[in-house]
Structure 1
């Protein structure tokens, strides 16, 4: 994997930015019509899928055919699964309290404020975090060990996300669990199996380009930014601030790992 088409990759970066921007602008127009900005969360996964698909088209004649198909499949499957899950979860509900609180304090037009602070920001993050995906299309040579290691890590992350989301959805559907803390299945090993899954998925996609040290160094910022968002930004940290004070949460937090899975009770012993 020594060859890399830097010039074509640069052109792809512009096309990827256009794809991410188009998804967010279309979503913004739909949100204005529905008066519901929470649908931007659905566009998060769709944005990555769009970047992967436009990169596949742009990279025709470059890179390795097997790797191009593989990175497209991994990214699109992850993005569509997430979009469908979030869409189903929010169907029939009103505005997300996070966006309602933010827009209530917006200076000037709340919609234009949302466009700047939510849609365009998320579009920029989609482009930045997808750098390894875009780069993978331009790597020459057959897939090697790094590619298969990355695919395996992606699979681990996808299992954690999918199973964790399904367990939480089933728990919430049971009226007997109203007001209770979800502490079963994967949620007894980590307080955030879905965020840990995201973490694995994006480090796995980064591993796809690690066969080329220069490309890996250029795109390392992407999984780092995603990790910071998951742990310190809009993921784990934000959710835990929301959960603080709920009955039983302090006990759950004491006995359950905060991010990386550990056997139940190991957090307290640690």
Structure 2
């Protein structure tokens, strides 16, 4: 006997925030952010799998694919972020935060909100008993997920390759003194080739495509209020374009390369997010 959608959402929210606040207590006591990203990725995986189990006893192909794609995305993200924090030692986002429990709690709570809203289509889908044959909408959605993950994977490959290139001791010392390259930029040089030649932030575009695709596929069986789960890609878009993603990198880019004519030409000709169609 499956659990109702409202029950699945309630259980998911309780587990989501319970995990975040529990790990906040541990991390706050240790004054470390090392568990933050791993906890976020792990919660995505846990809730995707649990909602799949909590739902109807008869599992549909759409539910199996959706759950698998979320798990794959979370594993990729989690491994990447964990390798980054252990390589860099600290996450500058948490400077003056990790030793302030009240402010630190806000960060963990925001992560809980991000997880729940982003997973909303998956949570609803996995609790849905109705089913329709997999069709064009699903294949387009899964295609968007694949396209989005490909652009994110390219970012990871670039970062990994940059760390595998042998460096002399003097190069290592210079790289330790230089600001750490973030997200779209590696070793202090801005990228303007490949996907970065048509979008300044293709990795973030990929993130938006991933969750837009998963909502599109899941919505094949949605009706009425369930379509409110379109908040998933909209919330991801809002976070990346208005809060913590693109604005921070754009300001950092201007601070680092604002005096470079090549960079100014680059930002003049290449769109911030969506590639130009003409």
* TM-score class, shorter: 0.7 to 0.9
The residue aligned with 1:73 is 68
Contact 1:154 1:200 in 2 (8 A): yes
The residue aligned with 1:133 is 122
2:50 aligns with one of 49, 54, 62 = 54
Q: TM-score, normalised by structure 2?
A: 0.80
The residue aligned with 1:147 is 138
Specify every segment of 5 or more residues in structure 1 that has no aligned partner in the other structure, as ranges: none
The number of aligned residues is: 252
Contact 1:209 1:216 in 2 (8 A): no
Contact 1:154 1:201 in 2 (8 A): yes
- Alignment partner of 1:122: what SS? helix
1:164 aligns with one of 152, 155, 165 = 155
Offset of residue 213 of structure 1: 4.1
Matches within 5 A, 1:228-247: 228-247=238-257
2:15 aligns with one of 10, 13, 19 = 19
Contact 2:121 2:219 in 1 (8 A): no
Specify every segment of 5 or more residues in structure 2 that has no aligned partner in the other structure, as ranges: 172-185
Cα distance in 2 for residues equivalent to 1:33 and 1:185: 44
User: Structure 1, residues 87-141: CA drift from partner, whole Å, max 9, x if none?
Assistant: 112213233222104x28xxxx7023202x1111211221122110111111522
2:224 corresponds to 1:214: yes
2:243 corresponds to 1:250: no
Q: Alpha carbons of 1:179 and 1:129: their partners in 2 closer, same or farther (altered >3 Å)?
A: closer
Please provide the CA RMSD for this pair: 2.6
Cα distance in 2 for residues equivalent to 1:216 and 1:257: 33
1:188 aligns with one of 186, 197, 206 = 197
1:31 aligns with one of 13, 24, 27 = 27
Q: TM-score, normalised by structure 1?
A: 0.82
Offset of residue 173 of structure 1: 5.7
- Alignment partner of 1:209: what SS? helix
Contact 1:157 1:197 in 2 (8 A): yes
Q: Alpha carbons of 1:223 and 1:73: their partners in 2 closer, same or farther (altered >3 Å)?
A: same
